[in-house]
Amino acid sequence: MSLSIRNQLPGTITAITPGEAMATVKVRLTGGQDLTAAITREAVEDLGLAAGTPVNALVKATEISLATAPVEGLSIRNQLPGTVTGITTGGAMASVKIAVEGGALTAAITRDATTDLALSPGAPVVALVKATEVALTTP
């Protein structure tokens, strides 16, 4: 299956915490980072997810925020450290390529944000992703 979602990180489920309608799913990415996805219980059942299941974590570029350092006191569960490898800017928006341990991400942010954060190739960043914005697929 081909997808327009550029951010596809492979990993393995380490834990599932079910709730009434939603579940949190912990994924250990191949680069060693931990990622949390909040998906429906129905999706957990439909995909046959359990600890040890290999998955791909999918995140749209527009759902990734960037910071120049880890952020404390924040409800966002997923903070992936990386390094900027490239920036393509347009009139209003920019596409920022980031190398993370074991993979790569693309973040779509405003052009002004790239200036405010002084982003350039080689700059360290932290990709921030809400758990509700992570989708899971099975290979």
Q: What is the pLDDT of residues 22-72, one digit of tens each?
A: 999 999 999 999 999 999 999 999 999 999 999 999 999 999 999 999 999
Question: Edge-to-edge strand order for the sheet containing 54-59?
Answer: 34-40, 22-29, 7-18, 54-59, 135-137
DSSP annotation of 73 reads S
DSSP annotation of 102 reads T
Of residues 94, 93, 96, 59, the one with CA closest to residue 79? 59
Integer angstrom CA distances of residue 128 from 64, 71, 95, 106, 112 = 6, 9, 15, 12, 18
pTM for the whole structure: 0.93
- Which amino acid is located at 66 in the chain? L
CATH of domain 7-137: 2.40.50.100
